[in-house]
Amino acid sequence: AKWANFRHRKRLSALIPGDEGLPIFGNIFELGRTPEAGLRSFLERAKAARDDWNGTLVKLWIMHDSVFMPTSGEMLQPLLESSEEINKGEDYNILKSWLGTGLLLAGADKWRSRRKMLTPTFHFSQLDGYVATMNRHAKVLVDVLEDHADHEFDVFPLIKRCTLDTICATAMGKDLDSLHQPEQPYVEAIAKIGALNVKQQMLPHLWSSFGRRLFGWQKENDANVTVAHALTNEVIAERIASRAKGEADVNKKAFLDRLISEMDKTNLSIEDIREEVDTFMFAGHDTTSSALGWTIWCLANHPEIQQRVYEEITSVFGEDEDIDCTSDEMAQLVYLDRCIKESLRLFPPVPFALRRLDEDLQMGPYLLPRGSTLCISPYLVHRNERIYPNPLVYDPDRFLPENVERRHPYDFVPFSAGPRNCIGQKFAMNQLKIFISWILRRYRIESERAFDERRELTEVILKSGDGINIVLRDR
Ligand code: HEM
């Protein structure tokens, strides 16, 4: 069956423009071998497809895997809107030892029932419950930043720890305080799991499970996963015990508490709960820190835009730099909203998301063969110069309603779109608005570097290879 599918993929793929590289290896040697060069080569291929044959679909063969990357919203539409083609690409499997088959990695059937069950926990009325926690952590961050004012420093490690603390508090109701105490087994373990994933993707000798065992990768991964699971298990046991004693504070419900209250109605086991909590920890912390880091970088390098955001913030909050940002205020921060969106356009935290096609799929004039990997790439769509002229320019006005209207709805997809989109997108946008509004009320952000003096690279998440170097000035 595998051979028949290979032949089928070869046959349909030959009808789609683009070269297929060498026999057996395909295009693998044409792709950059570092997280930085890899990104560049995808962009170059997307540009070449547009220039050579006016195409918005990149075709690649990576060994025996056929990969297609649509580079416009219009091309993406049939995939994003399909309620059938929702199975993830195989590259994700490596995360299963930590996340199990929670919402992010679940196959179609399990996903449908889980998504239905979890959607209400992200309803905007529930999100209000997380706003106080977000404000609390933003305040801790601006206080810690005080020690770094007036000289250039890399803010990214602090942002990363603070977003980890926030998601830990909202997902598990646990105060990690990694901002003050970074040396904790859990914090170190999930950082190691992240680094091991990047290593596994980049080094071909770790692509097979035999190689991963032989070179000690698996052992190191499993040891760190055990540490990460230990904390989640401990917190779940504590919350169940305090709930049984009637001690759970109903006004301070974490995501975990909502799942525990579902336990009786649904058939959720402790294991099921753990995989969802771990999934939210994973999906909700690196992504948000990347988005926050890049937004800070954009504002630091565009003082006039930053000043306009600041003026909007003071018009909403007055001169008080210490009051909480509530849902009402967030709704009024419309210019900040455009600035965050423009930063998500230029630097989408998830540059590539993968699906495995179960059936042949018609995409524009092409029939894509079943068994192929399809790549939803916000990075390639958002940098398509035919959709966003001068794509490397940071211009929040691209998100003025009249400009948004002129584009295809899927030309902006930082959170993916359709049934399998990001369940946490409102949560993330709230957190970004709250954090930026706290930081800008206290500090002016400056940059001593040029905006384009940055190395973008993908470690699953889009990062800056040099950190986010800024100077903070007290207002
Ligand atoms: C700026 C921040 C974020 C970005 C850019 C982002 C982006 C994405 C993207 C592109 C996907 C689709 C992945 C795929 O198809 O493989 C996704 C899925 C997901 N995200 Fe986010 N995300 C962010 C924040 C969050 C937060 C804060 C949470 C949790 C609180 C979260 C939870 C999830 C989950 C659970 C999924 C899987 C949904 C499903 O398959 O039904 N994300 N996210």
**pLDDT of the residue at 248:** 60
Q: Using the atom order of ligand 1, give the atom closest to the CA of residue 280.
A: 29
Local confidence band at 249 (pLDDT 50, 70, 90 cut-offs) = low
Q: Using the atom order of ligand 1, give the atom closest to the CA of residue 106.
A: 40
Give the distance (Å) from ligand 1 centre to CA of residue 49: 29
Q: Count the alpha carbons within 13 Å of 246 in the hemisphere toward its beta carbon.
A: 0
Question: Which one has a higher pLDDT value, 164 or 257?
Answer: 164
- The closest residue, in CA terms, to atom 27 on ligand 1 is 284
177-229 confidence digits (pLDDT tens):
999 998 999 989 998 998 899 889 888 899 899 999 999 999 999 999 999 99
- The closest residue, in CA terms, to atom 6 on ligand 1 is 415
Highest mean pLDDT pick, 22-31, 45-54, 82-91, 432-441 = 432-441
Residue 351 near residue 377 (C-beta atoms within 8 A)? yes
Residue 326 has pLDDT above 60, yes or no: yes
Query: What share of residues in the chain are helix, strand, coil (percent, to 5)?
Result: 60, 10, 30
Q: Write down the residue that tokens 């109701």 correspond to.
A: 173
CA nearest neighbour of 427 among 227, 129, 152, 180: 129
ipTM of the complex: 0.99
Give the tokens for residue 340. 């965050």
Cα–Cα distance for residue pair 348/440, rounded to 1 Å:
22
CA nearest neighbour of 292 among 252, 336, 326, 232: 336
Q: Using the atom order of ligand 1, give the atom closest to the CA of residue 428.
A: 27
CA nearest neighbour of 327 among 252, 249, 437, 421: 437
CA torsion, ordered 429, 430, 433, 436, to nearest 10 deg: -100
Cα–Cα distance for residue pair 255/276, rounded to 1 Å:
10
Give the tokens for residue 119. 């959607």
Local confidence band at 321 (pLDDT 50, 70, 90 cut-offs) = confident
- Residue 457 phi/psi, 5-degree rounding, is -145, 155
pTM attached to this predicted model: 0.95
Provide the 8-state DSSP code for 206.
Answer: G
Give the distance (Å) from ligand 1 centre to CA of residue 15: 34
- The closest residue, in CA terms, to atom 14 on ligand 1 is 353
- E strand segments, 270-365: 353-356, 361-363
Residue 406 has pLDDT above 80, yes or no: yes
Q: Which residues line ligand 1 (CB under 6 A)?
A: 88, 103-104, 115, 279-280, 283-284, 287-288, 291, 349-350, 353, 414-416, 420, 422-424, 427-428
385-400 confidence digits (pLDDT tens):
999 999 999 999 999 9
